[in-house]
Structure 1
Amino acid sequence: MDQLPKEAEPAAAAPAAAGGEPSRGTASSSGVVVQIREKKGPLRAAIPYMPFPVAVICLFLNTFVPGLGTFVSAFTVLCGARTDLPDRHMCCVFWLNIAAALIQILTAIVMVGWIMSIFWGMDMVILASNKEQGIPQQL
């Protein structure tokens, strides 16, 4: 009976595990190559890749006025900032950012929106620093 590959193993690595020839793209000594991809929801994927100083300003705004930095970042989408939603229209991504800002503002009363706003700003800074360092974005 043939064994099915584990979820983390690519299907092409199954013959190598069964004693056959190693598949192309995997090292013969290591056996399995595992690739991890982060799955982002539409709101999280709509965060724009901004210049680093703008991202820091948005983090500062989000820290003291929940949702304000997210609101400002929505306008960077209209100015040409890229996002992880390349197949969606610019206006759709703009409105997703506006929706995230409204969620942060409306739930700030119970502290959830304020915490979400700070994390959102930190994500903006992380994305901006990765962009400056030349680290490729994962789609």
Structure 2
Amino acid sequence: MDHGPKEGDSAAGAAAGDAARGAAAASSGGVVVQVREKKGPLRAAIPYMPFPVAVICLFLNTFVPGLGTFVSAFTVLCGARTDLPDRHICCVFWLNIAAALIQILTAIVMVGWIMSIFWGMDMVILANQQSFTSGAEVQSSRE
């Protein structure tokens, strides 16, 4: 695409247009936007489990809605970390049990089954994030 002066345009007008385009590119090139997801208490109570356990919970949630969420509640008692550090372990455990009950009770109308599958996918995503962050920490401690 030719950005040079066209017939009837002056060279000064073309140079001003090029300068404006350059300034717009420079101002938009350095902008960093950070987005943070705000999680509700039930979503924040999903534990960061080891990857194989998260995959098993996803499998259980896919075929028996709420069962994988129920199993994940016990990983909280075994020391799995959550996004609710200020809450007591028993409170987080009961939040996971409540999520499992909601999934089981609403599975009749398919809402709980869909919620259960998404819950299991979130468990796998969180486990994957945990494995990447712990791998980076191990790598930096070796250097």
* Same fold, TM-score > 0.5, yes or no: yes
Shift of 1:64: 0.4
Shift of 1:110: 0.2
**Aligned twin of 2:80:** 81
Q: 1:51 to 1:33 in 2, by over 3 A?
A: same
Please identify runs of 4+ aligned residues in structure 1 that moved more than 3 A: 28-33
Aligned equivalents of 1:55, 1:35: Cα separation in 2: 28
Aligned equivalents of 2:31, 2:124: Cα separation in 1: 34
**Aligned twin of 1:126:** 125
**Aligned twin of 1:12:** none
Unpaired segments of 5 or more residues in structure 2? 1-26, 137-143
Aligned equivalents of 2:30, 2:121: Cα separation in 1: 37
Q: Residues 89-128 of structure 1 correspond to what in structure 2 (within 5 A)?
A: 89-128=88-127
Matched, 1:50 2:34: no
Shift of 1:32: 4.1
**TM-score, normalization: structure 2?**
0.72
Unpaired segments of 5 or more residues in structure 1? 1-27
Shift of 1:34: 2.3
Matched, 1:72 2:71: yes
Shift of 1:89: 0.4
Secondary structure at 1:122's aligned position in 2?
A: helix
| Count of residue pairs the alignment pairs up | 110
Shift of 1:35: 1.7
Aligned amino acid, residue 72 of structure 1: V
Higher helix share: 2
Aligned equivalents of 1:58, 1:29: Cα separation in 2: 43
Aligned equivalents of 1:52, 1:33: Cα separation in 2: 31
**Aligned twin of 1:20:** none
**TM-score, normalization: structure 1?**
0.74
Q: Percent identity?
A: 90
Larger Cα-atom Rg: 2
Q: Deviation digits for residues 43-72 of structure 1, max 9, x if unmatched?
A: 000000000000000000000000000000
